[in-house]
């Protein structure tokens, strides 16, 4: 129920607009690296000093106008140029929907091609993030087209999709980030239980570690991490074949510990004013994620958290009423 509420909140455009207006006042400053490029570069430098690389996400949701998509493209290019200028250890993660996938496929492809071409010039890797069902195949199609001319692109495999095992085999020669999945998907397309998703997640990781090019293992779950460590040892897998990934602001002690142990570690660094949808999905994704955020921000943001809880409660009541009417 709580997950459904936060997922619904993440898709609410009115609340998203209010969040942009009032800034990072819901605790999101603890999980967003900055609101502009300068702040974000400083956050990256601090992580690099700890032996941690970064993948940078220019946050953005609900892009239905070409002007917004073009502005996002220019912002991402500016990040690439800042990475080059400051010589920080970082690459780019981006969402095709932010670049126009809900507007026009060819328009989106051209935006992405321009980004990838500039990144290729600097030797910067571009990771194409995967989103909800309606964006999934068009995003893979864009990857297929770009990979004909560029070798600095990769993508994400979401373990909750039934098709994930086929996708990971098709794209085994790409650098892949493997995640459990952060959107609410129907049973028609995706596993619904934690047990099913966790099982498929571990199986995908193991398969790609043995057969793939490079594996980014994106999880905060110490049980999965410990399992992967043992699997790597048992199968003599070289450290240069994989990395662990976590989100900025989550389990920072474990991030440092893994880096200190000699593992490649990459922090997913989101930035920008358009943080609301990302933040809500992180709260909805796993109860543990919400607990981590609440522990960090509750004392400093009591009124905001109470307001958020009240909003969630109200939305829950509305949802119940609608279900009763049905």
CA triple 282-57-217, angle to 5 deg: 65
Q: How far apart are CA 173 and CA 170, in angstroms?
A: 8
The residue that leads in pLDDT, 300 or 185, is 185
pLDDT per residue as tens digits for the range 137-185? 999 999 999 999 999 999 999 999 999 999 999 999 999 999 998 788 8
Name the residue among 180, 222, 234 with its Cα closest to residue 205: 180
SS3 assignment, position 172: coil
The residue that leads in pLDDT, 250 or 42, is 42
Domain definitions of the chain by residue range: 33-274
Tell me if 250 sits within 8 A of 220, measured CB to CB: yes
Strand-pair partners of 127: 93, 154
Beta-strand ranges (E) seen in 147-279 are 153-158, 175-179, 214-218, 242-247, 265-271
Across the range 224-236, mean pLDDT stands at: 97
Beta-strand ranges (E) seen in 102-223 are 126-128, 153-158, 175-179, 214-218
The pLDDT assigned to 23 comes to: 55
HEC profile of 304-322 = HHHHHHHHHHHHHHHHHHH
Backbone angles phi, psi at 155, to 5 degrees: -155, -165
Structure tokens at 11: 């898709």
The pLDDT assigned to 39 comes to: 92
C-alpha dist (Å) from residue 217 to 60, 102, 293: 24, 29, 21
Structure tokens at 212: 């793939």
Is residue 129 part of the annotated active site? The answer reads yes
The pLDDT assigned to 65 comes to: 96
> Residue 316 pLDDT > 90, yes or no?
no
Tell me if 94 sits within 8 A of 57, measured CB to CB: yes
The residue that leads in pLDDT, 16 or 115, is 115
The pLDDT assigned to 168 comes to: 98
CA triple 125-84-219, angle to 5 deg: 40
Q: Which of 57, 129, 167, 274 is catalytic?
A: 129
Q: Which of 167, 175, 177, 251 is catalytic?
A: 177
CATH of 33-274, one of 3.20.20.220, 3.40.30.10, 1.25.40.10, 2.130.10.10: 3.20.20.220
pLDDT confidence bin for 31, thresholds 50/70/90? confident
The pLDDT assigned to 301 comes to: 43
Is residue 177 part of the annotated active site? The answer reads yes
pLDDT per residue as tens digits for the range 202-213? 999 999 999 999
The residue that leads in pLDDT, 289 or 216, is 216
pLDDT per residue as tens digits for the range 88-114? 999 999 999 999 999 999 999 999 999
Tell me if 183 sits within 8 A of 163, measured CB to CB: no
> By percentage, how much of the chain surpasses pLDDT 90?
68
SS3 assignment, position 165: helix
The pLDDT assigned to 10 comes to: 47
pLDDT confidence bin for 60, thresholds 50/70/90? confident
The pLDDT assigned to 317 comes to: 46
The pLDDT assigned to 174 comes to: 97
Alpha helices in the chain (DSSP H): 2-10, 13-22, 37-49, 66-86, 105-122, 133-146, 164-170, 194-211, 222-234, 252-260, 276-285, 287-297, 302-325
> Residue 5 pLDDT > 90, yes or no?
no
How confident is the prediction for the chain on average, in pLDDT?
A: 85
């Amino acid at each position: 129920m709580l997950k459904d509420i936060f997922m619904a909140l993440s898709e609410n455009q009115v609340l998203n607009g209010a969040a942009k207006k009032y800034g990072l006042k819901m605790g999101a400053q603890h999980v967003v690296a900055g609101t502009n490029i300068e702040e974000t570069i400083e956050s990256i430098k601090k992580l690099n000093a700890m032996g941690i690389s970064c993948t940078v996400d220019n946050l953005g949701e609900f892009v239905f106008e070409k002007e917004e998509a073009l502005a996002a493209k220019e912002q991402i290019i500016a990040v690439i140029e800042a990475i080059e200028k400051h010589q920080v250890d970082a690459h780019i993660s981006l969402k095709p929907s932010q670049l126009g996938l809900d507007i026009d496929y060819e328009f989106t492809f051209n935006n992405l091609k321009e980004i990838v071409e500039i990144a290729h010039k600097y030797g910067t890797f571009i990771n194409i993030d995967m989103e909800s069902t309606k964006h999934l195949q068009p995003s893979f199609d864009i990857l297929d087209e770009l990979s004909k001319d560029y070798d600095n692109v990769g993508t994400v495999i979401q373990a909750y999709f039934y098709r994930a095992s086929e996708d990971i085999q098709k794209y085994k020669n790409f650098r892949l980030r493997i995640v459990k999945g952060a959107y609410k998907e129907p049973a028609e397309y995706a596993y619904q239980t934690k047990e099913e998703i966790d099982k498929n997640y571990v199986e995908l990781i193991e398969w790609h570690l043995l057969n793939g090019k490079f594996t980014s293992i994106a999880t905060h779950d110490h049980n999965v991490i410990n399992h992967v460590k043992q699997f790597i040892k048992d199968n003599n897998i070289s450290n240069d074949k994989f990395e662990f990934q976590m989100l900025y602001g989550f389990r920072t002690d474990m991030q440092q510990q893994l880096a200190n142990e000699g593992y490649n570690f990459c922090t997913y660094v989101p930035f920008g004013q358009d943080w609301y949808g990302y933040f809500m999905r992180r709260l909805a994704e796993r109860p543990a994620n919400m607990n981590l955020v609440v522990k960090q921000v509750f004392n400093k943001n009591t009124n905001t958290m109470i307001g958020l809880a009240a909003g969630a409660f109200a939305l829950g009541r509305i949802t119940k009423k609608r279900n009763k009417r049905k």
